[in-house]
Amino acid sequence: MDPIRFLTMAGLNVPALKAALEWAKKNDPAQAAEIQTLLDQLDAPIQPAAILDLAAHILPEAANIVRGKLDPRAHAGDAA
């Protein structure tokens, strides 16, 4: 299963998301490489190692938040 199929099964409008990413890639050369990497990842099968890798990042971060240790970042998507 690839991420697009997974997200589509969840009911998300993945074609619209992909179209928006393609548009952003075309209009922002500075971000084009990262956006293309993301689009490639959307088309690739989900690797169990990737899920474990994400969990390995998130669990310590959640523990730090509980302890009151914040490490904020400026995510553009947080404005959505």
Partner 1 sequence: MKIPIRLITLAAFAVLAAAPAARAGDLAQAFGCYAGVNAAWLQGPGADFPVDVEGAGNVKMSLSPHLSATGMLAYGFSHSYLRWDVDARVTATDVDNPNFNVFLGIGYRGGSIDQLQPGEWAPSAGFGWRPSPEKFPAFTFVGKASYGLKSSNQITYLGGRYALPFNPFK
Residues that bind partner 1 (CB under 8 A): 7, 10-14, 16-17, 20-21, 24, 27-28, 30-31, 34-35, 38, 54, 57-58, 61-62, 64-80
Give the span between the Cα atoms of 55 and 3, in whole angstroms.
17
Q: Which amino acid is at 14?
A: V
Q: Among all chains, which residue has been given the structure tokens 């997974």? A: 6
- The minimum distance between CB 12 and partner 1, in angstroms, equals 5
Q: How far is the CB of 15 from partner 1 (least distance, A)?
A: 10
Q: How far is the CB of 48 from partner 1 (least distance, A)?
A: 16
Q: Are 24 and 31 in contact (CB under 8 A)?
A: yes
Look at the alpha carbons of 48, 63, 10, 16 in this order and tell me if their dihedral is positive or negative: negative
